[in-house]
Structure 1
Amino acid sequence: MGIRLGLLGLALTLFSGCTASRALCPAEGGRPWREVRSTHFRVRTNLEEQAAAKSAVELEEFRRALLLAWGAGFDPPGTVDVIVLSNPRDLEEFTDARYAGFAGQTPDGPRMVMTGGGGYLLADTTGDKETQAHELAHYLSAYALLRQPRWVSEGLASYLQTVTIRPSDRNVVLGRASPALLQYVRAHGWLTLDELWQWDGKTNQSTAELQLHYASSWLWVHYLINEHGDRFSAFQAQLARGEDPQRAFAAAFQGDTSYPAALANYVRLGRYAISTQPLPPVPTQTQTRALEPADVHVIRALLFTQTPGDVPREERQRKAALELEQALKEDPTHVETQRMQAETLDKAERLKLARVMVEQHPEDGRAWDLLATALQAEGDMSAPQEQARQRAAKLLPDSPSAQNGLAWYYVLTEQPQKGLAPARRALWLMPGDPIILNTQTALLFQTGRCNEAVAMGRRTLDMFRDGFSDEIRQTFKRIYATQEANCVPAPAASSTQSQ
């Protein structure tokens, strides 16, 4: 399942133009907003209805094109949250800079913010979608490769970010060189593989250091796919089985050290192959519903707090608070608004609000999830929290965070057998999340499945990257070492159970 010829939170293409458009709710003079759900995407947008539905299908095509890197039969689960503004000028209100889009993470997976135009979301160019392709590639590759050293993770995502679907024949083009990254390595050089293997242990790098590591990772992956495809595929096959990355690489290349010799010539000549494959059929069914004014104010609050730029945090929070205030005027019981408001409350007020939400929305898993979280914050690990966690997991079967919340409750209360099922589901839904991986690791240690726990712990440490300090990574490393030393193996019948 390896790629052959077949940045979290980074900002996308800069946009220049006048500031004349605002993504307001219709009650304030804005365009109508709607939510479109397809098989793998939830799209909230102020595009016209036909363009909105078309954009959801285009995203399905985009996803399917990326998946070709691992073979036509690869089709993992999961839903991606997408906000699409009608044009790039709509985004200018939320940032001091002029971005055409960005991508980030939520507890349930990536959130991509994009801008449309003329109803055609993904044009036959790379500049308007490379950030989304990079982030989506990270998300999808976690389903394919259980272990990922950072240079492989970033190199593959950068390799895939140039994916294009040609409108003329609907063929997918994979493997084009990134002009910006190629220009960078030609101008600044690149790191050796030995240096890139050390990247996993580095944090707090300068912008220049990060640029060099990202560009070098892309170069090595692009080179190895083109010049040593069989060996690189064998390496990925071992990563897909969760094997140790450095041992897997050594096994794939079998002591051959000649592969770096031609890299300089490869950079100088710039000759490489690309893959052109027909785009397989994608699901085209969509469901559309109109969004209420309160829904739109929540989206605006999210954009104020999450859009990149140098606007001070206090100013962002002030504007977001005004949006949430207006949302509650529109709908005093709006669940998502209340959840966001709860983040600003102290523990007692949050618990009080959560109880009210459960009374108002007994069939909404988000309300139960907030109640469970509020109870945990109060130190209440009794039956009411378990019941709230169970209710949230049942009402939100496709939420990795809700499933993981239930599993983690059983870690904390030392009931690991109860936690295995929701932990497995969370891992199936989002296998690249270190918080979810950590829950699975803890449960395996608690059930005495020591060898599996050690392997899962190493996989977890692989994923503590962007957004996590080296101190956090070292803390978990010490925790796993202690758990390994104290792990009591389960009886043979239990230790061979499959996950």
Structure 2
Amino acid sequence: MRRTTLSTACLATAVIALGACRSFNSNRAIDLRPGAGQKDAAAYLAHPTTVGQLVFHADFILPSENRLIDEIVAERQIIYEKLRLKPSDRQIHVHLFADETDYKRHVSRRFPGFPERRAIFVETDRELAVYATWGEAVAEDLRHEVAHGYLHASVPNLPLWLDEGLAEYFEVSRGRDGVNRLHVNYLRGQLAVGGWRPNLPRLEQLIEAGELTQLDYAESWLWVHFLLHSEAGRETLLTGYLASLRPGEPAGSLADWVKASVENPHEAVVTYLRGLPK
């Protein structure tokens, strides 16, 4: 399944994130009265609901209490504390559609010619925004895309691979310590057939969204998980690197930071992968 991140004011760059879908029962959140889903898809803009840093625009009635909404609101504190980021109050607009056709129609109007995707994150000079369908994969989609929003609100000049690796990490549901089992199994399979060896400097060279493959997303996630969980103190390599990023300045090499602190880092990350739960 694919999600998309649109960055830059001209919306010329797209990042396609590959990941699995996790089912979420969304039926109780949708107003099922006759005609409730037939409104013009643009009408929802007139009735936003603000919860924390998130501003929800939905073409259906959001319940006053919903565990997924609570989860993505709480994701803010989890991300900022885990990565030791300075909290931002910049609003993230979350546009939700009950019907996939309405979602596709609205996105195609806003971003003509852009490929159809299940959910997207957009950053422009004016706003940070997520667009998604309230469907079977909404839980994973929103955790991933809203994570992009929180990150972009606080971290300037975030490298493409790290942006996606972090979003892949935070899309995982609570209680799993960020372990994406699909990524684990995929990387182990590629390792077994000789189709992959970790290469962080190579990931750092990826600057066009269209360059990223499923393998790139999986490896990006692995490096994030390795730094946050492998040994005490290694998380400071990641948090320190994020703190070093400055607007308008080229990002330095996290690979250099890792190489200076971790002996044989590529072998270390393979050993770490083999020890992760399936």
TM over 0.5: yes
Q: Does 1:77 align with 2:89?
A: yes
Contact 2:97 2:103 in 1 (8 A): no
Give the superposition deviation at 1:160.
Answer: 0.9
Q: Does 1:102 align with 2:119?
A: yes
Q: Does 1:115 align with 2:134?
A: yes
Q: 1:192 to 1:176 in 2, by over 3 A?
A: same
Q: 1:13 to 1:254 in 2, by over 3 A?
A: closer
Give the superposition deviation at 1:218.
Answer: 0.9
Task: Report what 2:77 is aligned to.
Answer: 67
Give the superposition deviation at 1:161.
Answer: 0.9
Q: 1:106 to 1:259 in 2, by over 3 A?
A: closer
Question: 1:189-213 deviations in whole A, cap 9, x for unaligned?
Answer: 444112212223x5653xxx52121
The number of aligned residues is 229
For 1:132 and 1:256, locate their aligned partners in 2 and report how far apart those are by CA, in whole Å.
Answer: 34
Contact 1:85 1:91 in 2 (8 A): yes
Q: Does 1:212 align with 2:231?
A: no
Question: 1:358-391 deviations in whole A, cap 9, x for unaligned?
Answer: xxxxxxxxxxxxxxxxxxxxxxxxxxxxxxxxxx
Q: 1:74 to 1:54 in 2, by over 3 A?
A: farther
For 1:34 and 1:203, locate their aligned partners in 2 and report how far apart those are by CA, in whole Å.
Answer: 33
Q: Does 1:129 align with 2:139?
A: yes
Q: Does 1:8 align with 2:15?
A: no
For 2:165 and 2:269, locate their aligned partners in 1 and report how far apart those are by CA, in whole Å.
Answer: 15
3-state SS of the aligned residue for 2:206?
A: helix
Task: Report what 2:39 is aligned to.
Answer: 25
Question: 1:243-283 deviations in whole A, cap 9, x for unaligned?
Answer: 765456534653543232233333233249xxxxxxxxxxx
Give the superposition deviation at 1:65.
Answer: 2.5
Contact 1:147 1:239 in 2 (8 A): no
Give the superposition deviation at 1:130.
Answer: 1.9
Contact 2:56 2:96 in 1 (8 A): yes
Question: 1:320-372 deviations in whole A, cap 9, x for unaligned?
Answer: xxxxxxxxxxxxxxxxxxxxxxxxxxxxxxxxxxxxxxxxxxxxxxxxxxxxx
Gaps of 5+ in 2: 6-16, 24-31, 41-45, 106-115
Q: 1:46 to 1:53 in 2, by over 3 A?
A: farther
Task: Report what 1:232 is aligned to.
Answer: 235
Contact 1:145 1:236 in 2 (8 A): no
State the 4+ residue runs in structure 1 displaced beyond 6 angstroms: none
For 1:100 and 1:153, locate their aligned partners in 2 and report how far apart those are by CA, in whole Å.
Answer: 18
Backbone CA RMSD of aligned residues: 4.0
- Structure exhibiting the larger radius of gyration computed from Cα positions: 1
- The structure, 1 or 2, with the larger RCO (C-alpha pairs under 8 Å, 6+ apart) is 2
For 1:59 and 1:14, locate their aligned partners in 2 and report how far apart those are by CA, in whole Å.
Answer: 16
3-state SS of the aligned residue for 2:77?
A: helix
Matching of residues 376-395 of structure 1 within 5 Å: none
Percent identity, aligned pairs only, is 17
3-state SS of the aligned residue for 2:205?
A: helix
Question: 1:213-236 deviations in whole A, cap 9, x for unaligned?
Answer: 111111121122221452332342
Given residue 192 of structure 1, which amino acid in structure 2 is its aligned partner?
Answer: N
Gaps of 5+ in 1: 1-6, 27-32, 118-126, 165-172, 273-499
Q: 1:220 to 1:252 in 2, by over 3 A?
A: closer
Task: Report what 2:179 is aligned to.
Answer: 177
Contact 2:95 2:129 in 1 (8 A): no
More helix by share: 1
More strand by share: 2
For 1:14 and 1:71, locate their aligned partners in 2 and report how far apart those are by CA, in whole Å.
Answer: 25
TM-score, normalised via structure 1 length: 0.39
